[in-house]
Amino acid sequence: MRPEDLAEVRSLPLFRNMRAANFQSLMQGAYAQRFPSRLELIRQGQRADFLHVIVEGSVELYSEWKGASTTMAVVGPVSTFILAACIRDLPYLMSARTLEPARLLLVPASDLRAAFREDPEFAVSIVSELAGAYRSMARHAKNLKLRNSRERIACYLLKQSELAGGADRFVLQVEKRLVASYLGMTPENFSRAVRGLEADGVRMAGQTVTITDREALVRACPPDVLIDGPDLESMSDGVSLPGPGMPEDRPARRAASGPRRGRETVA
């Protein structure tokens, strides 16, 4: 594990405020590891052994039932996932797999729980993180229950634009099939709905999205802070997808190998 990576981990909201000694001992017990693309890191139902921190690459969290599968989140560097299962020492509710070659830091769940009791500041960070993750998941559920797929896409794109600094043109960092699954629809439906949104001020060519008429788009699908955020709570273990890149950033699919893609605090 390189020192600069460690520094990035240290700068995460989760670890930022803990005492140096505790951070050090937590890292001492952790494993840095590389994984190839498309590797299953976690199988839902397994016991939670390690908190996972993504240092490089990206990971999809997904769930399966009766043969069907749905994307619950895509997380990129530097962020953590499956905190809740680790804290409760319970089976994972989601599976995880790398979308590209990735480097992860695995922190033993038992060490984590010990550190929680040792370090009050760390306890505060953990509880903040979890509360944020809860709210993120609540938003996800509201989005699914209150909006149709057209509206979910429109608001997703508006949110991406916001994450891109309000730019009218940006590049999706995640495959469309994953966005579709995250938003709770089939790729076909996603494709058609995007096409349908052209009438409301969106154009999409490949991974590049252009908002041609923001007002029309907002009129068609008013975003809501209580669903789309932001919440200033941007923490890990949340439920979302990485932020967009700028048009010059391409090739998009490997953006993670660059300095860092999107908001590292989104997921």
Among 3, 65, 205, 258, binds a copy of itself (CB under 8 A): 65
For position 128 contacting a copy of itself by CB under 8 A, the verdict is yes
Residue 2 or 43 with smaller CB distance to a copy of itself: 43
For position 176 contacting DNA by CB under 7 A, the verdict is yes
Secondary structure class of 221 (helix, strand, coil): coil
Rounded to the nearest 10 degrees, the angle between the axes of helix 120-146 and helix 109-118 is 120
For position 187 contacting DNA by CB under 7 A, the verdict is yes
Q: Enter the tokens of residue 237.
A: 């273990």
191 binds, among DNA, a copy of itself, none (CB under 5 to 8 A by kind): DNA
CA distance 201 to 203: 7
Output the DSSP codes for 40-64.
EEE-TTSB--EEEEEEES-EEEEEE
Q: Yes or no: say if 267 and 163 are a contact pair by the CB < 8 Å rule.
A: no
For position 16 contacting DNA by CB under 7 A, the verdict is no
Q: Give the CA count within 13 Å in the CB-facing half-sphere of 266.
A: 23
Q: Closest separation between CB of residue 242 and DNA, Å?
A: 14
150 binds, among DNA, a copy of itself, none (CB under 5 to 8 A by kind): DNA
DSSP classification of residue 245 = B
H or E element at residue 3: helix 3-10
Q: Closest separation between CB of residue 10 and DNA, Å?
A: 31
What lies within 8 Å, CB to CB, of 234 at 6+ separation is 13, 132, 263, 265, 266
For position 177 contacting DNA by CB under 7 A, the verdict is yes
For position 148 contacting DNA by CB under 7 A, the verdict is yes
167 binds, among DNA, a copy of itself, none (CB under 5 to 8 A by kind): none
148 binds, among DNA, a copy of itself, none (CB under 5 to 8 A by kind): DNA
Residue list 132-191, contact with a copy of itself (CB under 8 A): 132-135, 137-142, 144-147, 184
For position 69 contacting DNA by CB under 7 A, the verdict is no
**What does the binding site for DNA look like in residue numbers (CB under 7 A)?**
37, 148-150, 175-177, 184-195, 204, 206, 251, 253-254
